[in-house]
Amino acid sequence: MHVIAIVGPSESGKTTLVERLTDRLSERGTVGTIKHLTCEPDLDVEGTDTTRHREAGAALTVGVSDDAGWFATGEDMTLDDALDRLAVSCEYAIVEGYSEVDLPQIALGGDGGEDVRLSAPEADAVDIDDAVAAIEATDPYECLQSLVAEVKASPREDRAGAIATFTGRVRAKEGPDDDSTEYLEFERYDGVAQERMATLREELESREGVHEVRLHHRTGVVEAGEDIVFVVVLAGHREEAFRTVEDGINRLKDEVPLFKKEVTVSETFWAHQHQV
């Protein structure tokens, strides 16, 4: 799922741009939207931002507030929860607001964070083809649920008796007396990393009894307790599934050029330069 955030002051026309982009992207795939709410909306009122999202073609719209979170069913939800939900069934997600969150952005009216892909003084000044290109250029957003949904959609799923998964996460500390890790930051060797990941997936899927493999490693800042890497295997039997998951994560760590910076409460270092 490709994700873009539309950010800017309230008078910059963020919702209008969400409508235009949703209308265009819905011709290419399923679109979900997320609205940053300052209060719980009234779903019965016409013209609300979330209603406008749906009328523009959004298949699923989620509203999320800063405190308890909000969703149409009444369950509490964070921005990450909402993205995970959309990733299972959507090709695109457009987030309205959240200028402070680490997401690729289209920035209106001079607002924006560190990852601005396109900027304009207001929504009407944005070329919609440029906006589509900006979201298409983002790295796909994946979570465990979306990867499992992908392998379940395999044409060979009727021959599969097992799905095995591995999730790697940021460990806060090794022992009780260690300094706490605040976050890890990952960078990749662009082009080479994607090529080696694709080769690894192809080799794992060529194994007898293995039907589908998905590998995903996040880049950028990943905070303590958050997920970093996923391996998902659809196989005929549990033996092939377990073995392939283990080989997949081991080979990913050994063969894919990813560089890790660790930030603890007392120091910052690149993992390959750290000596103890």
Domains of the chain: 2-136 (3.40.50.300), 144-273 (3.90.1170.40)
Residues contacting residue 242 through CB under 8 Å, at least 6 positions apart = 164
Which has the closest alpha carbon to 61: 95, 27, 111, 20? 95
Residue 116: HSE in the Cβ half-sphere, 13 Å Cα cutoff: 15
Rounded (10°) angle between helices 79-87 and 144-152: 10
Strands 2-7 and 92-96 come out as parallel
- pLDDT value for 76: 63
Cα angle 53, 132, 50 (rounded to 5 degrees) comes to 10
Residues contacting residue 63 through CB under 8 Å, at least 6 positions apart = 34, 35, 37, 40, 41, 50, 70, 71, 72
Please state the pTM of the whole predicted model: 0.84
Amino acid identity, position 100: E
- pLDDT value for 111: 76
- pLDDT value for 262: 86
- pLDDT value for 44: 46
Helix (H) and strand (E) counts in the chain: 7, 13
Which has the closest alpha carbon to 64: 76, 55, 49? 76
- pLDDT value for 97: 84
Per the listing, tokens 């709410």 go with 37
Give mean pLDDT in consecutive 10-residue pieces for the chain, a chain of 276 residues: 93 93 96 80 56 87 65 62 92 91 91 88 95 95 96 96 97 84 89 94 98 95 93 98 98 93 79 44
- pLDDT value for 36: 82
